[in-house]
Structure 1
Amino acid sequence: GCDGSVLLDTVNNGSKAEKDAIPNRSLKGFDVIDDIKNAIEKVCPNVVSCADILALAARDAVSAPFKRRLWNVALGRRDGRISLASETNGNIPSPFADFTSLLQTFNNKTLDVNDLVVLSGAHTIGVAHCGTFSRRLYNFTGKGDADPTLDPTCADFLRKQCPNPANPKTIVEMDPGSSRSFDKHYYHILRQNKGLFISDAALLTNKESESIVIRLQRSRGLFFAAFARSMRKMAAIDVLTGKDGEIRRNCRVVNP
């Protein structure tokens, strides 16, 4: 992420790169980063890293509908030369994780419970494959039932979208009705027990995280401000600067 390693392609006869790891297979938009990089290189070659482009693109994608920058992005990152799919599982929060595991993953990256709840709000945008949540729908406790913490009506709807066994290519909205809008609606459905992932429902199993969910659900301004702070923190994790790393000429491959 913060060194642009997720942008690197898998090399022939080499280890799988991050983007080909199972948790990252739904990532899109690599061509957009390529286009931005190509345009910058024509005007300002060998100066702007792919890691900085990615950080700016994330900010601008969220901010665009509001016609203002929701947070500032510190620049000066350099690009890493290593990308391993094997390193993703321990660094990306699992959709199957309980609260304790989620918080530990965040703590390992210097993030806290507030960051966990706030950044989970990004689930208001996008889609998920059936395999990331279907275990909540079928035989969850070994008795042929659904996850009892999932709203029954929501479970019925999801079973229609993801019959067992589910088509691995089938996708559903993570925040139905609001999956193309950056807003606080995620917290609204979460409080209705309609969060898609086990990791979403886990936010309601801890008193502190549940209280944060309630506060964010009540105020768009609070959510936006908190999201900006957490994104700035996350964008500073494991950053390469100075003489470390490189400025890639092509975001998909390391420099010769």
Structure 2
Amino acid sequence: MGCCCSCFGIGEDSSSSTRETELSSKQQKVNSSTLAIARHMSAPGIRIRGATVSGEGLALAGVTIEQDAAYWEWHITKPGDTPPDEDDDDDDYDEEIHAVKFGVSTKKDKAFYRALKSAADSGTDESTPMEDGTALMRPIPQLRDGDTIGIAVQHSDLPMVQFLLNGEPLHEIAINRFRGAVYPSIYLPGGNGDGQGGVSENTKGGGGGVVEGDISATVVFDENDFRELSPHSRFGPLIAARGII
């Protein structure tokens, strides 16, 4: 009898271990699916390759920010990057028009992007940040190849979105107070407005130069891959508590 009970107990332990392994595997699949850029919530002009986005328009990750304090990064790649010409009178124009925006956004769908396109096609497109989905985002101009943009979001006390450039806080563009479910997001303005990147015709010398539209950005949610520290120890990596697959 003792032998039978022992064998029976081993069987239960083995079954329990198998179930735990299966649950862990399923959770990992959910995390990898949700902690990524969501095609169905991103603009048609956005190109997605793994965790990297390029092209033109708004792109959202597929998970809401539900934890009290979360931090993630965008790693910037800018091919052919050269230092800006300080004497170029068009720099201010390029900075405003071609700056990439970072932050968070409310949920978007295909109907939202169809409405934007319809307004643009009809010549009545006078979208405000609230209307085009970038109300909770801020532009960061003059990005360089290898730059790291850190985003820190907190819900308790005063809901806030903080921005960091290569570990340095950008206090002047912090967003105070927001409500509702939000998703990590990025807005790429495109190179020449065609969503395909390209070179600027406004670059001094007439030879063209790489503009913000040629940028690609890789979103990083794994703290092991972070390049910088979050602004405070309470800001942990984003957790896929409830994602949209």
**TM-score if structure 2 supplies the norm length?**
0.24
Structure with a larger share of its residues in strand: 2
Structure with a larger share of its residues in helix: 1
**TM-score if structure 1 supplies the norm length?**
0.23
- Kindly name which structure, 1 or 2, has the bigger radius of gyration based on alpha carbons: 2
